[in-house]
Amino acid sequence: MDLPIDLPITPMLAKAVKGVPAADSVEGGLSYEPKWDGFRVLVLRDGDDVELASRGSKPLTRYFPEVVEAVRAHLPQRCALDGEIVVRSGDQGAQRLDWEALSQRIHPAASRVAKLSAETPAEVIFFDALALDDDSLLDQPFRDRRARLVAALDGRTSATPFHLTRVTDDPDLATDWFTRFEGAGLDGVVAKPLDGAYEPGKRTMLKIKHSRTADAVVFGYRIHKSGEGVGSLLLGMFSSDGRLIPVGGASAFTMARRRELIDELADLVVRDDDGGALTGETERSRFSGSKDVSFVRLSPERVVEVKFDQLEGSRFRHAAGFLRWRPDREPESCLIDQVERAPSYDLDAVLGAR
């Protein structure tokens, strides 16, 4: 592939901040845009040669044949564009991003890939441009890269599975987006320096993500990959009819804390008649592959307060963060129906007019 930038290349990243920053907090000002929750992708095209490069080392090209076909049909002959692959679900007028449907697109069987490309077709939300035609845009300010991106996507129709993310220079509007757009499955807001270059692999952008707290019951733990200490706590909440529903896990402990948790939880380990610890297995996902999904069963007696970003269906979208034990809470009081959820918001309203 012959493009005016060095390949392979990694996308520009963002560092987390607590609130929407003021427009004048960065010299030259900031541009704000919605933070999409999908697979980050660098769409690379040189004629018929198309690659969907991921943030990691695993290309996405083979999993999204409908996107590759659309790239050849609708994008400039030579380009490198930054965006997010998403899948939507729901009835017309009440659609949202569907992370579960998107994650199922990563499948080893070619027949399954072809089937899902028709049943749950993906779309791409574009928000930056690294190269167009013979021009590298890496050293250009974002305001100029944005103008080139707008021109590159001109002429799209409603049938084209490509979208141009909306932007604003108004932090108050960005704050409004942060609140409203979560109901369509979005992840927050991103702020970019208007005069900033595109810096691959560097945390040049700012991201503002949702954060909430909830109480959950610990029903098991996984051993850390090192073989020593607790790797993650498995969390559940009760349904209205008394069923314990797995909602996710909490990890990111220090090694010292991992060892301490083994001792803290020892009395809760469920054991067989011979005194051995009983184990179970969680459901495998598209991303677990051959990883060990076994866990040590615990009696569901301890309640923990965790922080999380979104509850999607009955699962935390990302791993939760451990905050503290809640000895004042009864396990049965941890009801999934009481967890705060964002009001629904239609995805098409986020995307706006083409």
- Clarify whether residues 236 and 190 are in a common domain: no
The residue from 187, 210, 233 where one domain ends is 210
Residue 66 has pLDDT above 70, yes or no: yes
Instruction: Return the DSSP state at 166.
Output: P
Last residue of a domain, one of 178, 210, 242: 210
Query: Average of pLDDT values for 297-309?
Result: 95
As a whole number of angstroms, the distance between CA 51 and CA 73 comes to 14
Quick one: how far is CA 283 from the chain centroid? 20
> pLDDT band at 313, cuts 50/70/90?
confident
Of 125 and 280, more confident: 125
Catalytic residue set: 35
- Give percent above pLDDT 90 in the chain: 82
Query: Does residue 163 sit within a domain?
Result: yes
Instruction: Sort 136 into a burial class: Cβ within 10 Å, 0-12 / 13-18 / 19+.
Output: middle
pLDDT higher than threshold 60 for residue 285: no
Q: Is 348 part of a structural domain of the chain?
A: no
The confidence score (pLDDT) of residue 282 equals 67
Q: Which residues are CB-neighbours of 243 under 8 A, at least 6 positions away? A: none
pLDDT value at 284 more than 70: no
Among 85, 102, 103, residue whose Cα is nearest residue 41: 85
**Mean pLDDT (the chain, rounded):** 93
Q: Is residue 5 part of a domain?
A: no
**Do 204 and 269 sit in the same domain of this protein?**
no
Measured CA distances, 5 to 61, 131, 133 (Å) = 19, 7, 11
Q: What share of the chain is helix, strand, coil (3-state, %, to 5)?
A: 25, 35, 45
Check residue 291 and give its pLDDT: 61
Note the pLDDT of residue 9: 96
95: buried, middle or exposed (CB in 10 Å: 19+, 13-18, 0-12)? buried
Helix and strand element counts for the chain (H, E): 7, 21
| Rounded mean pLDDT, 269-281 | 88
CATH for 193: 3.30.470.30
Say if 47 falls within a structural domain. Answer: yes
Percentage, residues of the chain above pLDDT 70: 96
- Number of structural domains in the chain: 2
In terms of domains, do 205 and 220 share one? Answer: no
In a domain, 325, yes or no: yes
The pLDDT of residue 156 is 85
**In terms of pLDDT, which residue wins out, 288 or 261?**
261
Q: Could you report the per-residue pLDDT of 111-140, keeping only the tens digit for each?
A: 999 999 999 999 999 999 999 999 999 999
- For 181, which DSSP code? G
Query: Which stretches within the chain are classed as H helix?
Result: 65-74, 99-103, 110-119, 142-152, 171-180, 255-264, 347-351
Contact 81, 122 (CB under 8 A): no
Cα–Cα distance measured from residue 233 to residue 220, given in angstroms and rounded to the nearest whole number: 6
pTM over 0.75: yes
**DSSP SS3 for 108:** coil
Please tell me whether residues 170 and 223 are part of one structural domain.
no
Place of tokens 């003021």: 22
Per-residue confidence (pLDDT) for residue 305, from 0 to 100: 96
**Domain-located, residue 54:** yes
Q: Could you list the residue range(s) of the whole structural domain that residue 184 is in?
A: 13-210
Prior bond of 8 cis (ω within 30°)? yes
| Residue that terminates a domain, selected from 167, 193, 210 | 210
337, pLDDT greater than 90: yes
Q: Is the pLDDT of residue 323 over 80?
A: yes
How far apart, in whole angstroms, are the C-alpha atoms of residue 107 and residue 152? 31
Q: What is the pLDDT of residue 333?
A: 94
Mean pLDDT over residues 97-114, rounded?
Answer: 93
Q: What's the pLDDT score for residue 283?
A: 62
**CATH number of the domain encompassing residue 265:** 2.40.50.140
What pLDDT was estimated at residue 288? 46
Which two structure tokens, joined as six digits, stand for 180? 């409203």
Q: Tell me, yes or no, whether 86 and 193 share the same domain.
A: yes
pLDDT at 58 over 60: yes
155 and 35 in a common domain: yes
Residues 154 and 251 in one domain: no
221 and 324 part of one domain: yes
The dihedral region occupied by 181, where left means phi > 0, alpha psi between -120 and 50, and beta the remainder, is: alpha
**Is 263 contained in some domain?**
yes
Does the pLDDT at position 342 exceed 50?
yes
Q: Is the pLDDT of residue 61 over 60?
A: yes
| Widest Cα–Cα separation across the chain | 71
Residues 75-87 have a mean pLDDT of 98
> Is the same domain home to 193 and 263?
no
The answer as to whether 68 is a domain residue is: yes
267: Cα within 13 Å, side-chain hemisphere:
3
Which range, of 31-40, 86-95, 218-227, 272-281, averages the lowest pLDDT? 272-281
* pLDDT tens-digit series, residues 242-259: 999 999 999 989 999 999
**C-alpha dihedral sign at 88, 346, 310, 332:** negative
Residue corresponding to tokens 């051993």? 223
Residues 202 and 228 in one domain: no
Q: Running DSSP on this structure, what letter comes out for residue 11? A: -
pLDDT for residue 286 = 46
Asked if 216 and 205 sit in the same domain, the reply is: no
pLDDT in tens, 198-233: 999 999 999 999 989 999 999 999 999 888 899 999
Q: Are residues 92 and 229 in the same domain?
A: no
